[in-house]
Chains A and B, each alone.
Chain A
């Protein structure tokens, strides 16, 4: 069965600093991987997705993530944090065979300090 582990339930960075949110997956077959963002009192919004094309995936709002099969990781990064990036971030996985719903991680709350 697939699973996703997000390391760190809460990450705090200074404005302008690098954002790194960690996600490791376990899947018996190469998966599809997703990052979602949730702003307060809103639904989840798709940030980016990996579907076995390029291993470095660019998303919205300056975020990107790199698929590393050897490390079973799909970490989310942004070179320079902005106050508006403060939100909850969820990593999700689905096998390419695709007969199960996405499996979501527990989420990481990102705080940005001025």
Chain B
């Protein structure tokens, strides 16, 4: 158990819909990262927050957005969902940027 929690574990939704994925980092970690993992694209970094502020952006679509709240939990919002958005979405946390990241168990999103 890494100490990072993610909800929900599984999510099935239809194209065009909007979903919110939630992540709670390890106690004491200020950085939160979001990743997408699919068979064809592999592990893709989406976005990072540090103590409530956006710090780095990766291959995140405009339809996707994220935020980190004062209690340090983070949410990833995915809208206008397409079939290709079906993937595993991981959250990770670290004490500081550039140090080891600890990954949550992931949310499996299926878009039908």
Question: Within residues 25 to 76 of chain B, which ones have a CB less than 8 A from any CB in chain A?
Answer: 33, 42-43, 45, 48, 55-56, 58
Partner of A44, one of B48, B98, B99, B103: B103
Rounded to whole angstroms, the CA-CA distance of A42 and B108 in the bound complex is 10
Contacts of B55 in A (CB 8 A): 101
Partner of A104, one of B43, B96, B98, B106: B43
A34 touches B103 (CB 8 A): no
Contacts of B48 in A (CB 8 A): 101
Contacts of B4 in A (CB 8 A): 43
Rounded to whole angstroms, the CA-CA distance of A107 and B43 in the bound complex is 8
B100 touches A43 (CB 8 A): no
A101 touches B45 (CB 8 A): yes
Contacts of A43 in B (CB 8 A): 2, 4, 90, 92, 103-106
Chain A residue nearest to B33 (CB atoms) is A101
A46 at the interface (CB under 8 A from B): yes
Binds B, one of A12-20, A62-70, A92-100: A92-100
A7 at the interface (CB under 8 A from B): no
B97 touches A99 (CB 8 A): yes
A74 at the interface (CB under 8 A from B): no
A49 touches B56 (CB 8 A): no
A45 touches B99 (CB 8 A): no
B86 at the interface (CB under 8 A from A): no
Contacts of B79 in A (CB 8 A): none
Contacts of A101 in B (CB 8 A): 33, 45, 48, 55-56, 58, 97-98, 101
Q: Could you list 12 examples of A-B contacts with CB < 8 Å?
A: A41-B106, A43-B105, A44-B90, A44-B92, A44-B103, A49-B100, A96-B98, A97-B98, A100-B98, A101-B45, A102-B101, A106-B43
